Amino acid sequence: MTERDGRPQQSERLLRTVALTKSFGGIRAIDRLDLGVARGELRCLIGPNGAGKSTLFSLIAGIHRADAGRIFFKGEDITRLPPFRRVLRGICLKFQTTRVYRDLSISQNLLVALALRGPERRDGDTAGRLAWALATFGLDRDGDRPARELPHSHQQWLEICLALATDPDLLLLDEPTAGMTPDETALTADFVRRLNGQGTTILVVEHDMTFVRQIARAVTVLHYGRVIAEGPLAAIEANKDVRRIYLGEQ
Ligand SMILES: Nc1ncnc2c1ncn2[C@@H]1O[C@H](COP(=O)(O)OP(=O)(O)OP(=O)(O)O)[C@@H](O)[C@H]1O
Ligand SMILES: [Mg+2]
């Protein structure tokens, strides 16, 4: 099924979820969620612990199967596609907990990621973008170093590079700056902005509001698996419900 079937097509939408629902036992982690992301956006997703942010990413990437609802990517229904098929179509997820291959070297990690990229995604300037990313994060110097020896921040960066190796059109970053120093966070923010400037659509989950302020133009707020607010950062920060629920005001 495509978006054309049964509902008006919104071709500018790169990603769209319709009434997406996922429960774990009695907990409804994602609750009839409607979300639209336009091509070229850099969107931040915020919300309290347990709001469903990582679950939403897992549903979009195909790690979890939706109980109900649909996910459209580039106008095609991808709700039932396995994760690797979504990677081939241009969706890549950087997990909340880093999942680099700890016993492999930086170069070997990259080879694994490059092998995941489908032939149809090999016409862009992936090599150039990857080289730029590795140099930005200082990962270009010791390719033979096992990933487990890297500091946590560098493992986070390596995982971003592994995602980039698949040449994604939509990059999902789940808490990319967790555990980073302010300088490392600022470097990551600058990188994310530049990557978006080159055309990659990016959805970022992050609790660090300093980072969110450094990158976000638009913000979506999740609470109990539903969108409770969406809009420009300034409007979100002024929103009374968001301030109460998320920013901790009475
Ligand atoms: N694999 C799972 N099995 C059971 N429950 C789960 C599982 N994954 C998530 N949940 C539950 O679903 C809800 C949403 O969790 P999720 O991890 O998506 O939240 P989150 O917004 O990413 O939170 P955080 O900011 O702490 O990372 C929570 O109540 C969580 O306990
Ligand atoms: Mg999470």
- Tokens representing 46 are 């915020």
Ligand 1 binding pocket (C-beta < 6 A) is 24, 27, 29, 47, 49-55, 96
Please report the pLDDT score of residue 123 as a whole number.
Answer: 57
Please report the pLDDT score of residue 8 as a whole number.
Answer: 43
- Of all protein residues, whose CA lies closest to atom 12 belonging to ligand 1? 29
Q: Which of 20, 22, 53 to mutate to test the pocket of ligand 1 (most atoms within 8 A of CB)?
A: 53
List the pLDDT tens digit at each of the 250 positions of the chain.
555 544 444 446 899 999 999 999 999 999 999 999 999 999 999 999 999 999 999 999 999 999 999 999 999 999 999 999 999 999 999 887 778 899 999 999 999 888 877 666 655 677 888 999 999 999 999 899 999 999 999 999 999 999 999 889 999 999 999 999 999 999 999 999 999 999 999 999 999 999 999 998 899 999 999 999 999 999 999 999 888 888 676 5
- Of all protein residues, whose CA lies closest to atom 31 belonging to ligand 1? 50
Torsion of CA 49, 243, 56, 159, to 10 degrees: -70
If one counts every other C-beta atom within 10 angstroms of the C-beta of residue 129, the result is: 17
Please report the pLDDT score of residue 142 as a whole number.
Answer: 87
Q: CA–CA separation, 65 vs 204, rounded Å?
A: 21
Q: May I ask the CATH class of domain 41-63+81-245? A: alpha beta
- Of all protein residues, whose CA lies closest to atom 5 belonging to ligand 1? 24
Domain residue ranges in the chain: 41-63+81-245
Q: Are strands 27-38 and 42-46 parallel, antiparallel or unpaired?
A: unpaired
Burial class (CB in 10 A: 0-12, 13-18, 19+), 123: exposed
Which ligand has its closest atom nearest to the C-alpha of 30?
A: 1
Please report the pLDDT score of residue 95 as a whole number.
Answer: 85
The pTM score is: 0.92
Please report the pLDDT score of residue 161 as a whole number.
Answer: 95
Please report the pLDDT score of residue 245 as a whole number.
Answer: 86
Cα–Cα nearest to 139, from 107, 172, 103, 108: 107
